[in-house]
A = this chain, B = another copy of it.
Amino acid sequence: MAGNSFGTLFRFTTFGESHGPAIGCIVDGVPSRLALDEAFIQGFLDKRKPGQNKYVTQRREPDRVQIKSGTFEGRTTGTPVMLFIENEDQRSKDYGDIKDKFRPGHADYTYQAKYGIRDYRGGGRSSARETASRVAAGAVARRVLETVPGGPVTIRAAMVQMGPHKIDRSRWDWAEVDRNPFFCPDADTAAAWADYLDVVRKAGSSVGAVIEVVASGVPAGWGEPLYDKLDSDLACAMMSINAVKGVEIGAGFDAACLTGEENADQMRAGPDGKPVFLSNNAGGILGGISTGQDIIVRFAVKPTSSILTPRQTVDLEGQETEVLTRGRHDPCVGIRAVPVGEAMMAVVLADHFLRARALGQ
């Protein structure tokens, strides 16, 4: 209700500020007897970890997760799984400049307007640091999805656009995603992005990105018909990630340009009695409910507003001034959003798996 929980049956609640002692989450609604240990979760956190290459923020955080409750002898017990990550790189620093000035494009002004008080150290609660908790919760969700009958459900994500530069979809290769620092599924584009982002980084500037998340193996029939539609929940989930400004499913905004003949995915009889679709403009969701095809979601990430060029703003007293964000920054914050998008997909699907099961579906 106050905006720190996500999900209904499978549900996590996060806590923590960028420069407080710790961040983490409580994951509730976890079925019992699933194998779960810290190493499994750590693997996903490591993908998102800052400081791994020159293209992401140089904050050095080991992001070591501890399970504080909910497992016994390596298996979940059905009680809440508490995941705890200590903040280690809280480097002593002069926050003077951003303490009193609202950084344009950041949540500084809106937090002040809403709460009348603000933990100005590194963005506080609005920092992208919070997404580590999401990735940890997403790892638990993946364990739940491993139990889907007829599975496995596979969730993967890739960056498909950096700044104005899109990938060439004809060269899409999932194996490439882990071979470059951009989660790019196209090796040639990845090389081009490296050059491009070097220029951006050296200029102290930043660029946006588009991420695509794909879930395969989701059975037909997940989702609710009107207000908890699978696509509504995914839109909510992805838009909740820091810096995201747009979400689309399947053909998305391009669907506006299609005719009914072009858009509707025709069906043929499949080998197992289930229909085979001749296209996937629906992104695997019709009427809010999964069709059995791949679920395809894309989201747009704006460029981070922490840049080295001074910007016009006002301060706490309403006086006009300029502000400039020194120190560590992310030339393309969309990179770290890739594993976060995967995690949010996992959580939404785990939730709808439980919901469908509740109704005997």
- The size of the chain A interface, using a CB distance under 8 A, is 158
| Given A207-B258, A245-B255, 5 other A-B residues pairs in contact with their CB atoms under 8 A | A15-B79, A16-B82, A29-B359, A210-B253, A232-B236
What's the nearest-Cβ distance from chain B to residue A345, in Å?
A: 15
- Asked if A78 contacts B289 (CB within 8 A), the reply is no
What's the nearest-Cβ distance from chain B to residue A36, in Å?
A: 12
- Asked if A78 contacts B256 (CB within 8 A), the reply is no
**Oligomeric state, in number of copies?**
4
- Asked if A300 contacts B252 (CB within 8 A), the reply is yes
What's the nearest-Cβ distance from chain B to residue A41, in Å?
A: 15
What's the nearest-Cβ distance from chain B to residue A158, in Å?
A: 14
Tell whether A163 is near chain B: CB-to-CB under 8 Å.
Answer: yes
- Asked if A267 contacts B313 (CB within 8 A), the reply is yes
- Asked if B208 contacts A104 (CB within 8 A), the reply is no
- Asked if B291 contacts A110 (CB within 8 A), the reply is yes
Residues of B contacting A232 in the complex (Cβ-Cβ under 8 angstroms)? 235-237, 239-240
Contact with B along A121-165 (1 / 0, CB 8 A): 000111000100000000000000001000000000000010110
Tell whether A53 is near chain B: CB-to-CB under 8 Å.
Answer: no
- Asked if A161 contacts B256 (CB within 8 A), the reply is yes
Tell whether A107 is near chain B: CB-to-CB under 8 Å.
Answer: yes
- Asked if B267 contacts A110 (CB within 8 A), the reply is no
Inter-chain CA distance A20–B67, complex, in Å, is: 10
Q: Using a CB-CB cutoff of 8 Å, which residues 1-31 of chain A contact chain B?
A: 1-6, 8-9, 11, 13-17, 20-24, 26, 28-31
